[in-house]
Amino acid sequence: MITAPTMAKVSDSGARHVGISDPGEQALSRFLTGLLGDGYAGEVAQDVASRLVSATDNSIYQVLPAAVLYPRGGEDINRIVRAARSDPQRPIALSPRGGGTGTNGQSLTRGVVVDVSRHLNRIVSLDVVGRTVVVEPGVVLDQLNEYLKPYGLFFPPTVSTATRATIGGMVATDASGKVRIPIHSGRVFRFEAGHRSDLMSATIPI
């Protein structure tokens, strides 16, 4: 297995922290303190087991993150981004993660993994006439197509990891067909068939 270079430290308690240096640990602590102070409602995992789960995907790489976040809603995503950008001198690297099915290490980071698969996995609404469905990024492809099946509809991209691949991850890695994603530094909004709108749900053509 090919591993990315990491930095290691042994704390007074003997616990081994891999992937973040002393200044980085201080920045991480400030980030998490600010995040929780801003009303973040999701979970924060810094234990080795949780970090190891997010250290690999479907690629040959292994990169141990400093922490893993499990946001509960769109506003939690806003809070995470605000906290990560609060210190311009030492911003926190964020890496969104869905099903971890990427083959090029796209979701791996030595910073903070934002796992949307645990809570952001709801199908919000369906427009049968317009053939669009609004989903959260953690919705799995097979889950979506099972929901659409009674209406005679399906989300066309076919991937071998359909039982695990999330819609958010498919869009992020260009494995979802011709869907345009507006990107704007420092702001968040959803993509809607090529038009910018709100946050953390996606309207996709089916």
Q: At which of 115, 148, 170 does a domain end?
A: 115
Asked if 43 and 67 sit in the same domain, the reply is yes
Q: How confident is the model at residue 21, as a pLDDT?
A: 54
Asked if 47 and 131 sit in the same domain, the reply is no
DSSP string, the chain: -EE----EEE-TT--EEES--HHHHHHHHHHHHHHHHTT--SEEE-SHHHHHHTTB-SSSEE---SEEEE--SHHHHHHHHHHHTS-TTSPPPEEEESSS--SS-TT--SSEEEE-TTT---EEEEETTTTEEEE-TT-BHHHHHHHHGGGT-------TTTTT-BHHHHHHTT-SSS------TT----EETTEE-SSS-EEEE-
The CATH number of whichever domain residue 80 belongs to comes to 3.30.43.10
Asked if 164 and 110 sit in the same domain, the reply is no
Its pTM stands at 0.76
Find the domain containing 137 and state its range. Answer: 123-205
- pLDDT per position as a tens digit, 148-167: 999 999 998 888 899 999 99
For the chain, 206 residues long, give each residue's pLDDT as a single digit of tens. Answer: 333 333 333 333 334 444 455 668 899 999 999 999 999 999 999 999 999 999 999 999 999 999 999 999 999 999 999 999 998 888 999 999 999 999 999 999 999 999 999 999 999 999 999 999 999 999 999 999 999 999 999 998 888 899 999 999 998 888 876 544 444 444 444 444 333 334 445 556 66
- pLDDT per position as a tens digit, 65-90: 999 999 999 999 999 999 999 988 88
